[in-house]
Amino acid sequence: MPMTPLDHALFRRMPKIALHDHLLGTIGCATFQALARARGAAITDDEIADLYDPAKKLGAMRVLRVLETQVLREPADFHRITYEYLAGHAAQGVRHAEIFWNPTPSVADAAAYARLLSGITAAMADAQADHAITALVLPSIDREAPPEAALAMVEWMIARPDPRAIGIGIDYNENKGPPELFTAAYALAGRHGLKRTAHAGEFGCPAAHIRTALRDLAVERLDHCYTALEEPDLCREIADRGVVITVVPTNTYYRRTLPPERWAEDHPIRRMPAAGLAIHPNTDDPPIHHIDPEGCWAMMHEAFGFGAADIRQFMLNGIEGAFVDAGTKAAWRKLFTAEFDALLQEIAP
């Protein structure tokens, strides 16, 4: 029997958590252009606009590097982009967000790190007051930089602790920086009580990267993790450890490499729950991917065929994967479940 389509109002209004968004990837085009002009950055409005054009992604990395090194220079810059992101997500039912931020291209020492971090955390406090959304930041290793830079970043976090800078991640091109290069940084983070997650298995990269992240980096959450499906034993290990996986329905690697008429049927996300993996959908780089929370969750239903019970479980997976205390998780599970079930009865009785 065909599945009854779910109304978009459910995806917009249901309580949600965001665990996989990159701060630099949340900046809208107009904000980016305005900040670049104010800083006199060596980039044009048209070059910035190309970042948001699906047909012109080849120069994306150069544009993002300009953003890191020439545009975002002051705490006020980071306050603006963080607040705009959180306000937008809160308007679509997101109650809590954990945001990746790569500080090393922008700063050189612990004092500079803390200075820019202050803009992010102030925006989080303001967004919580104005929009009832809580947030944490995950300073993230730029895996295209040397491992020494990763170690330095963790040392900055230890020297300048902040309760909202709860843990670390690692991102950028996985082919250029496999996880085994960063074991020292992750070990240091673990010794100081920082939470740990990592992008692994993102660009068709070997499942061995996921195993390394799980065992050697001792991550408590995984990001992407699609190639785990190549090894059923690895899927069982992830499931047995209770590790939640943040996935991205708009992941560009699979949209680019799978046939257009087959991408949704062949995308790994479709098969991950059946392999025992606890997944949670996210927007990643919302304006660049032309997606918002409503659209992201709708894709899980409309593109990948998951029903209401699956959506409900993915919502609960997000709570389980969040880097918050057990009491907060228990309260959220009760509240989110009641709200979701009431919405489902209202919208699709």
**Tens of pLDDT along the chain (349 residues)?**
345 688 999 999 999 999 999 999 999 999 999 999 999 999 999 999 999 998 876 578 889 999 999 999 999 999 999 999 999 999 999 999 999 999 999 999 999 999 999 999 999 999 999 999 999 999 999 999 999 999 999 999 999 999 999 999 999 999 999 999 999 999 999 999 999 999 999 999 999 999 999 999 999 999 999 999 999 999 999 999 999 999 999 987 998 899 989 999 999 999 999 999 999 999 999 999 999 999 999 999 999 999 999 999 999 999 999 999 999 999 999 999 999 999 999 987 6
Where would I find the H helices in 92-182? 110-131, 147-159
Residue 258 corresponds to which tokens in the numbers above? 């799978």
Burial 277-316 (b: 16+ CB within 10 A, else e): bbbbbbbbbbbbbebbbbbbbbbbbbbbebebeebbebbb
- Tell me which residue has tokens 């079930």: 341
Provide the domain limits for residue 13.
8-28+76-347
Q: What is the pLDDT of residue 57?
A: 61
Domains contained in the chain, number: 1
Q: What is the pLDDT of residue 2?
A: 43
In a domain, 59, yes or no: no
In a domain, 329, yes or no: yes
Q: How far apart are CA 55 and CA 169, in angstroms?
A: 29
Write the CATH number for 88.
Answer: 3.20.20.140
Residue 144 corresponds to which tokens in the numbers above? 């295209």
In a domain, 38, yes or no: no
Calculate the dihedral angle through the C-alpha atoms of 260, 261, 266, 272, rounding to the nearest 10 degrees: 90
Give the bridge partners for 101, in sequence order.
139
In a domain, 66, yes or no: no
In a domain, 33, yes or no: no
In a domain, 109, yes or no: yes
Collapsed DSSP state (helix, strand, coil) of residue 219 = coil
Residue 128 corresponds to which tokens in the numbers above? 């919580």
Residue 98 carries which side chain, given as an amino acid letter? Answer: E
Q: How far apart are CA 4 and CA 53, in angstroms?
A: 34
Q: How far apart are CA 249 and CA 303, in angstroms?
A: 9
Q: How far apart are CA 224 and CA 227, in angstroms?
A: 9
Residues in the chain: 349
CA-closest candidate to residue 248, choices 310, 295, 190: 295
Q: What is the pLDDT of residue 3?
A: 56
Helix, strand, coil: what percent of the chain each, to 5? 55, 15, 30
In a domain, 42, yes or no: no
Residue 105 carries which side chain, given as an amino acid letter? Answer: P
Give the bridge partners for 245, in sequence order.
222, 279
Q: How far apart are CA 70 and CA 40, in angstroms?
A: 8
In a domain, 67, yes or no: no
